[in-house]
Amino acid sequence: MKTVLMVAEKPSLAQSIAKILSRGNLNSRKGLNGVCSVHEYTGTFLRQNVRFKVTSVCGHVMTLDFIGKYNNWDKVDPAELFSKAPTEKKEANPKLNMVKFLQVEGRGIDYIVLWLDCDKEGENICFEVLDAITPVMNIPRGNEKVVFRAKFSAITDTDISKAMNQLGEPNRNEALSVDARQELDLRVGCAFTRFQTKYFQGKYGNLDSSLVSFGPCQTPTLGFCVERHDKIQSFKPEAYWVLQAKVTNSAGDSMVLDWDRVRVFDREIAQMYLNMTKSTKETKVQSVSKKEKVKQRPQALNTVEMLRVASSALGMSPQHTMQIAEKLYTQGYISYPRTETTQYPESFDLKATLRQQANNINWSDVVKALLTEGINRPRKGQDVGDHPPITPMRSATEAELGSDGWRLYEYITRHFIATISYDCKYLQTTVAFNIDEEHFTCTGKTLLSAGYTTVMPWQSLADEETLPVCEGGDVFTVNEVKLLEKQTSPPDYLTESELITLMEKHGIGTDASIPVHINNICQRNYVTVESGRRLKPTNLGIVLVHGYYKIDQELVLPTIRSAVEKQLGLIAAGKADFPPVLEHALNIFKRKFHFFVDSIAGMDELMEVSFSPIAESGKPLSRCGKCHRFMKYIQAKPSRMHCSHCDDTYNLPQNGTIKLYKELRCPLDEFELVLWSSGSRGKSYPLCPYCYNHPPFRDMKKGMGCNECTHPTCQHSLSLLGIVQCVECESGVLVFDPTSGPKWKMACNSCNVVVHFFENAHRVKVSSETCVCEAAIVDVDFNKAKSPLPGEATQHSGCVFCDPVFQNLVELQYAKMKHPMHRGGGGQGRRRGRGRGRRPPGRGNPKKPKDKMAALAAYFV
């Protein structure tokens, strides 16, 4: 029996597809990576009985990056990244072992059906999956077709079954357009970001951003926000005057009239008009005009409109909105949420979709009335040819979806119902008056037919828009005519909704990437989100954009990126070739980069005005090993140490607190140690600022603290404090934290595993002896009053994992216990533990340090 492998983009999607196609008759098992399940059943494919295996990936299998040596910021000129630096595809998430998993499941299969999301990114993932699986598939006979592509827009029985019966092929051109965008963004973004970050963070201490990043889409997005900020700052309010009249009829109904001149900017002229009109006691209705008007129902919903409404009306960020929409889609509640189309296809069954909502108590009356009266033909929109508009696929309740999920689902459903409802009709009445020689009017609206506003009540007419009944010639008493002084007001900061509109208008990003670009400028501390989800640029964001304008305004204007997006669209459509388009775009940005580097002084002048030099930032903390003067700790992102006497800056671990570590010094370079901590429930470890930036041993990398240092005799090193290989990851070692008492703990120096043990012990020490499992023996000394040891003993030595006395005193957090000593009985555990809990190198067979050690010693002596 032949085998068909079907691959979806997410595990939940694979499960839904398998259940639909197998009609619930399937067997499921976990894959080797522990994340993706494999669902198996038998069925018919190409008129033959086959075994189906349905599994998934977790988004992109591969990611594009530079080869190893070009990821070193200190040794590579950023200009080389435009052409000289070779790129390679790496696993997007190595911990998932996705390539190996796909090859294991794909070995010996005969056919593959790709159920990736039906957009350009999905097509790109199709070929990533094929690259992994094709080499291990059975070789096809002759020209037999073995690769198939399923096209679908919703996770429903109908859509999935239809897609299975109409299989096509993956689109190579769309996949190549994504490859081109990835390489362009990688090369351009990394080159500018590395240069800017190193240049400005080396000079200024209070930028408060760990990365001074540039992005071909990100920077124009920031440019829109700063452009609005500049308009606000340069705005000069101007006084103007408005005449306002209030009149009342014999029945006591009053109206406030609007002046036909609207406003005047000269006070004396305004006063003249007031003097002309204020003596008038009565006025007659000159005319009453009535006109029937229509408030159109909305077009079908696409991604950009959904993001706009979610931000402005629901108060949800674009990134959060897309996460919720994707979850609703994978659970089968809505159709595919990434689409630019605003027109339902001719084959779309509107009535069937509407009928599913007939029993939902929130809008059942409206739905039943529409089904009885007949639905209205939807407005004509734009058909981009990607996916149908976003619609609900089945009925739901708030209890099923949760707060935010329900709010978004409710809007999508109400919007869908509104698109096939009737327009809102109202009568607009305009009453005209003359007071002396001046013309005034009052306009009101009377509802004739609520139409779609029944289901979208926030768009209904306000009650105060209705006018009292009156006819031409009716006399009204003039209660007052007054002069109002007002001022022109500046525009407000851009809302996320307005920014999305600008990005769509100028072709910056796609419906899928727009939320990512907005999220990036927030994360980089270029803008802050104020009330009403308004985006206010920070000092850093403003200076960067002004600097780009000063050097090369095309770096921040949307024109170049918009042109590039059109070129990428031509690749996707098969009208342009990948290499020349990429080469042309890279050449443009390469020339701009060289000009930017040569002209950086122009941006630096702006930086000097807004930010403090690094030597004037921070507070004294620890002593430098070279000059023995105090170095300053700069807390603003990225946190670092700076010695103003030596003019040296040392990077530190981020996202934690730094304090002096008992005034102890590194035995290699005499720098005072500092202690990094992520909090009482997290990890902490000491580090030498110099060794952290200049690794002293061959087996150390930049960015390692004392808990990874292989110094053979230092009391803070891995060699003396390391206990056992990590119970969760393969590469880490559990290292004792001597600062954690009385709530003692050891933490992995690679992952986030923390093991708490021996609470309230008086003293804990790592012995030089080792257990049969090759873990270090630990000596523990308890106070007599608090000792948990049997027989009122206060001292005990043993293995943390093997010793039965210690086992109840050990508690692991943030990870599932996997140490072999905790499986089954003592003897069996010991046998399985051999080699697994290997002691870190250093104590028995210390590695020789680099020659740099001798050089360091000579330097400081």
- Residues 175/127, Cβ–Cβ less than 8 Å: yes
Instruction: Count other C-beta atoms under 10 Å from residue 827's C-beta.
Output: 8
* Residue carrying structure tokens 């061959």: 698
- Closest by alpha carbon to 219, among 572, 640, 596? 596
- Residues 535/493, Cβ–Cβ less than 8 Å: yes
Maximum alpha-carbon separation in the chain: 109
Task: Specify whether 685 is catalytic.
Answer: no
Identity at 619, one-letter amino acid code: K
604: left (phi over 0), alpha (psi -120 to 50) or beta: alpha
Question: 279 to each of 250, 256, 282, 473, 714, how far by Cα in Å?
Answer: 20, 17, 9, 20, 97
Residues written for the chain: 861
Instruction: Count other C-beta atoms under 10 Å from residue 818's C-beta.
Output: 14
Query: What DSSP character marks residue 376?
Result: P
Give the DSSP H/E element, type plus range, for residue 230: helix 218-234
**Partner residues linked to 755 by β-bridges:** 746, 812
**d(C-alpha 404, C-alpha 412), whole Å:** 12
- Residues 830/772, Cβ–Cβ less than 8 Å: yes
- Residues 642/614, Cβ–Cβ less than 8 Å: yes
Cβ-Cβ contacts under 8 Å for 56 (sequence gap 6 or more): 7, 8, 9, 10, 11, 13, 14, 36, 37
* Residue carrying structure tokens 């990590």: 726
**386 exposure class (CB count in 10 Å sphere: 0-12, 13-18, 19+):** middle
Cβ-Cβ contacts under 8 Å for 359 (sequence gap 6 or more): 395
**65 exposure class (CB count in 10 Å sphere: 0-12, 13-18, 19+):** middle
Cis peptide before 638 (omega within 30 of 0): yes
**d(C-alpha 501, C-alpha 504), whole Å:** 5
Give the DSSP H/E element, type plus range, for residue 633: strand 630-634
Half-sphere exposure in the Cβ direction for 782 (13 Å, CA)? 21
**d(C-alpha 249, C-alpha 718), whole Å:** 91
Task: Output Rg (C-alpha) for the chain, integer angstroms.
Answer: 35
**Partner residues linked to 254 by β-bridges:** 248
In this structure, the strands spanning 745-748 and 87-91 are: unpaired
- Residues 487/237, Cβ–Cβ less than 8 Å: yes
The beta strand positions in 624-682, using DSSP E, are 630-634, 640-643, 648-651, 657-665, 672-677
Instruction: Count other C-beta atoms under 10 Å from residue 788's C-beta.
Output: 14
Catalytic residue, chosen from 111, 329, 336, 493, is 336
**d(C-alpha 562, C-alpha 557), whole Å:** 9
Q: Which residues are catalytic?
A: 336
